[in-house]
């Protein structure tokens, strides 16, 4: 007789399979490579969503916005981080009409820096000087640089362009003496490195009366406040600096309840976000909802903001 010692009844197999937990759904978050501000932001958001909301969000590094935005726009990742200019370009000019904004996440504060012992004090003083331009590997930054020049009534014809692929090269050319200024966003370690290397740097002041001209070049820029301190190397007195937003983007097909839960969790557990990524101090429900035009907000985000009694704020 055949032994039945190892025979398991079919009904037991069915019951065992039926009671096994289903694997948790994984949500993709496309962002820049490790070491960048946006990778840290994505890591902070993913960590909080997993620990506080049980959402299994996987950070997916990519080379740049030209990869990140299409990935999200095609629905290959549920979320992504980008500056506001990048999704606007792909939505308006490249036909990715399923792109949606989930939230504005933080401010990118930028400046033109010169040596501390330079006689230059304002952006207008760059006339005839060697100025970093082009940013061939970071195309969205070129209109930012041109907009900043426009605040002083300057164009490329008024300066001596020094073509660079990215902001790192801009800083390196400045240190090497090949440019009279460099362009960077506050909060980056590179600024502190340059400050020490050249014996001190200064931020060129921007004229707020020039913002209408700047908006004709780059409509999503605005001015924010900066004061002297560790965060703002080169800021010698309270001043306005050129700023624009980083946003979290998503796809129109992502479920409303997922987007709603992301926003609710981020706002409820902001302190956890800031512990990993300090720039997320900017994030609030009100900050997250801006009237950018172009790329619309996701319907789940609109529901969240409506439930919170929030209306989109205008760029100032």
pLDDT (0 to 100) of residue 91? 96
| pLDDT tens per residue, range 240-286 | 999 999 999 999 999 999 999 999 999 999 999 999 998 899 999 99
Q: What share of the chain has pLDDT > 70, as a percent?
A: 93
* CA nearest to 280, candidates 86, 45, 53: 45
Per-residue pLDDT reduced to its tens digit, 137-153: 788 889 999 999 999 99
pLDDT at 202 exceeding the cut of 60? yes
Q: What does DSSP say about strands 99-115 and 239-251: parallel, antiparallel, or unpaired?
A: antiparallel
What tens digit of pLDDT does each residue of 31-67 get?
Answer: 988 877 888 899 999 999 999 999 999 999 988 888 8
Residues contacting residue 215 through CB under 8 Å, at least 6 positions apart:
147, 221
CA 277, CA 31: separation in Å to the nearest integer?
Answer: 14
Q: Report the pLDDT value the prediction gives residue 23, as an integer from 0 to 100.
A: 58
Cα first-last separation, the chain = 87
Strand partners, 115: 201
Domains of the chain: 26-107+245-307 (3.40.190.10), 108-244 (3.40.190.10)
Q: Mean pLDDT in the chain?
A: 91
pLDDT at position 137: 77
Residue 172 pLDDT class (50, 70, 90 cuts): very high
């Amino acid at each position: 007789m055949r032994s039945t010692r190892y025979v398991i009844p079919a009904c037991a197999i069915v019951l065992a399979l039926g009671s096994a937990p289903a694997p948790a759904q994984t949500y993709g978050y496309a962002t820049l490579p490790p070491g960048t501000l946006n990778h840290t932001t994505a890591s902070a958001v993913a960590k909080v969503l997993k620990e506080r909301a049980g959402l299994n969000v996987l950070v997916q590094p990519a080379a740049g916005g030209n990869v990140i935005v299409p990935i999200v726009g095609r629905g290959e990742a549920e979320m992504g981080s980008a500056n506001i200019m990048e999704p606007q370009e792909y939505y308006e000019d490249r036909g990715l009409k399923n792109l949606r904004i989930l939230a504005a996440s933080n401010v990118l504060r930028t400046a033109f820096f010169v040596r501390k012992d330079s006689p230059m004090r304002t952006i207008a003083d760059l006339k005839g000087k060697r100025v970093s331009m082009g940013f061939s590997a970071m195309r969205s930054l070129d209109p930012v640089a041109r907009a900043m020049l426009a605040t002083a009534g300057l164009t490329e014809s008024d300066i001596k362009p020094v073509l660079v692929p990215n902001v790192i090269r801009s800083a390196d050319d400045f240190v090497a003496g090949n440019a009279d200024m460099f362009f960077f966003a506050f909060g980056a370690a590179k600024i502190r490195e340059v400050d020490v290397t050249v014996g001190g740097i200064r931020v060129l002041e921007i004229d707020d009366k020039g913002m209408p001209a700047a908006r004709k070049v780059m409509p999503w820029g605005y001015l924010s406040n900066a004061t002297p301190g560790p965060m703002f190397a080169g800021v010698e007195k309270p001043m306005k600096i050129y700023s624009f937003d980083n946003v979290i983007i998503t796809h129109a097909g992502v479920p409303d309840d997922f987007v709603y839960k992301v926003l609710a969790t981020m706002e409820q557990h902001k302190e956890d976000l800031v512990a990993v990524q300090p720039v997320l101090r900017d994030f609030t429900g009100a900050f997250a909802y801006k009237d950018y035009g172009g790329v619309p907000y996701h319907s789940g985000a609109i529901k969240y903001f409506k439930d919170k009694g929030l209306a989109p704020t205008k760029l100032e």
